[in-house]
Amino acid sequence: MTHNEFNAVIVTFNPNIENLYSLVNCLSNQKVKTVFIVDNGSKNILDLQVFDGAVSSTTKLELILLNGNYGIAKAQNVAIDLALQRNLSYLIFFDQDSAIPEDFINNLMQDYKEIESQGINVGLIGPRFIDSRYNFFYKTIDYSSGHRKKLDVSNITTPMRSTLLISSGSMASLDAIKKVGLMREAYFIDYVDTEWCFRFESLGYENFISSRAVMKHAVGDSIIEFKFFNTPIHSPFRRYFVTRNAFYMFKEAHIPKIVPTRQIFVNLIQQIIILLHSKNKISYIKAFFKGIKDGVQYLVKKG
């Protein structure tokens, strides 16, 4: 497996151009073959025009401009469709604010090969994440035993089985994606990666956390900290999809019912915490109840 078998997707929406340039440059230095930037109708569209064409002798950059904000799933699918049409080998997904170390691709590749050499049908593999604000490793969630396990990845030395991965930095082969199918565009943003991870596992693939590949990440705009419960703060816009899509997951046969049940309960607790600390209470209340209404309507709808 050579580096130029790897291709990357970055979904953008009003990105910080400097951060985006750094990510593209780092991917180019690691000899990624093609970098697809799929933009969801950014206001700084003129600044994005520089991201088109060859950025090095080994890396081609393709800018794909959508005419509005269609959500992360739609944008990812546009790139996946192009990759499938061109019979590309591997696709790695990034957020617009992702930052990776210089050995990221090589480390992810080594762990993928190590798992594959054991005869395992690898689905998605993603890095360990360090919180960029508080400098701790995010735990990962695994359901492969039939029960929810929250696993510490801070000191692992070999890849760890994990049902759920954070989308940014995750990689899959196009052969696997071809069998699993595209992402659920109706989800728009939240739980897109959750549903896809469960679908991979339901079709005989196993997802993993890499021991070698590490990324920095920050969940939410900020965090409200409690002794036993930390709540990431998202905008009311995002809270709508978090609430609604938890109900959507009830209709996914491959997702254990305990998952959306738990998420609805957790979302309720988070909503209460956010309301206690937010100055924008009315917007959060409206988003929460609209999410419940639209989620329940989807559940009772036939088909």
Does 105 score more than 70 pLDDT? yes
Query: What are the DSSP E strand ranges found in 26-70?
Result: 34-39, 53-54, 60-65
Question: Mutual orientation of helices 236-248 and 281-300 as an angle, nearest 10°?
Answer: 20
pLDDT digits (tens, 9 = 90+) for 161-189: 999 999 999 999 999 999 999 999 999 99
Whether 225 shows a pLDDT value over 70: the answer reads no
Domains of the chain listed by start with CATH number: 3-217 (3.90.550.10), 222-300 (no CATH)
- C-alpha to C-alpha distance for 53 and 56, rounded to whole angstroms: 9
pLDDT tens digits, 107-149: 999 999 999 999 999 999 999 999 877 788 999 999 999 899 9
Closest CA to 13 of 72, 53, 60, 63: 72
Q: Which of 169, 199, 170 is nearest to 184 (CA)?
A: 199
Instruction: Please indicate, yes or no, whether the overall pTM of this predicted structure exceeds 0.95.
Output: no
